[in-house]
Homo-oligomer: A and B are copies of this chain.
Amino acid sequence: MVKKVLTVGEILVEIVATTRGDGFREAQPLIGPFPSGAPAIFIDQVGRLGTPAAIVSRVGDDDFGRVNLDRLRQDGVDVSGIEVASGEATGSAFVRYRADGSRAFVYNIVHSATGRLTLTPSAEALLDRCDHLHVMGTALSAPGLATVTQEAVKRIKSRGGTLSFDPNLRPEILGTPGLREALDDVLAQSDLFLPSGEEIFLFTETDDEAAAVQELLGRGLQQIVIKRGAQGASHFSGSGRLDTAPIRVDEIDPTGAGDCFAGAFVSFWLSGSSPETALRYANAAGAHAVTRLGPMEGAATRAELDALLPGPSS
């Protein structure tokens, strides 16, 4: 049976400054709105690979909501769990890259439509129909959203479904009351953990990577994939360690690469591919993502990923 992937969390538009600099204190050239939101990027990548996919989220009844609904539908994502909130604004993130590659943001999320997510009947129906749940740490950072996410974890796990977890945490939200406990609880139920770089140390005592991996595998996690950005990625399980080298591409915009990586890994893993194959395609998906301006623009089809990977003879 083909498995259906669900995620829960924010849908946003992203507006990108086309010059480098520190923030938005004066009028400047921009480009947007791009469909965005880490869970939305993840699920769009899942959909583009042809894997059944759905998202529980909330947008305003405006063009910024529609630009997301249009894209997700077009890429095959089931949007029945996205509530369209009349009189509210779709969330937004303005991003400008600084000269050093770091990013300055202006957000409208907490008080936007996506910040008021609740479990609608349509969303609830998805919890009873999906086989896998992908949780991002940000989906635990707001009370309403966390409640929906925790309910999704409970229902999908109790039906024998699987759970993947990407912390995807900005340091400034780690102090949110109750977040730590909620993260620990989700990690304890996860089958697959996908931290980026140092995020693996969020849940361990040690600051040595190999020891941290052993500690987490010892707690019952089946698989850990460490995303290393331009340095490739590593997969850990009871069978040992697999590494994949980075694919050289011209980086245009790194936003969304980790989400595309995770979307591809989950798709291939759920369809029965070996960890090695899933890791190679995920690595290619991350590389493809950075070649396009806009967070969701670089989500790739299977053919686009094959084009980035060495052929069978190599």
Contacts and interface: CB of A to CB of B under 8 A. Distances in A.
A32 B25 contact: no
A87 B110 contact: yes
B34 A27 contact: yes
A89 to B, nearest CB: 4
A89 B108 contact: yes
Contacts of A34: 27
A92 B67 contact: no
Contacts of A27: 31-34, 294, 297
Contacts of A87: 110
Contact of A111 (B26, B62, B88, B297): B88
Classify the interface of chain A: helix, strand, loop or mixed: mixed
A86 B88 CA distance: 20
Interface string A89-109: 110101000000000101111
A66 interface: yes
Nearest to A294: B27
A104 B29 CA distance: 19
Interface string A18-53: 000001111111111110000000000000000000
A175 to B, nearest CB: 13
A184 interface: no
A66 to B, nearest CB: 6
A285 interface: no
Interface in A216-259: none
Contacts of A66: 25
Interface in A51-70: 62-64, 66-67, 70
A8 interface: no
A15 interface: yes
Most chain-B CB neighbours within 10 Å: which of A27, A29, A30, A64? A27
Contacts of A109: 89
Shortest Cβ-Cβ A-B pairs, 9 listed: A89-B108, A24-B63, A30-B30, A23-B63, A111-B111, A62-B106, A27-B34, A63-B106, A27-B32
Interface of A: 15, 23-34, 62-64, 66-67, 70, 87-90, 92, 94, 104, 106-112, 294, 297
21 contacts: A15-B30, A24-B64, A25-B67, A27-B31, A27-B34, A27-B294, A27-B297, A28-B32, A29-B29, A30-B32, A33-B94, A62-B106, A62-B107, A63-B106, A64-B106, A88-B110, A88-B111, A90-B106, A92-B92, A92-B108, A108-B112
Given A23-B63, A24-B33, 10 more contacts: A15-B15, A25-B66, A27-B32, A27-B297, A29-B30, A29-B31, A63-B106, A89-B106, A89-B111, A92-B92
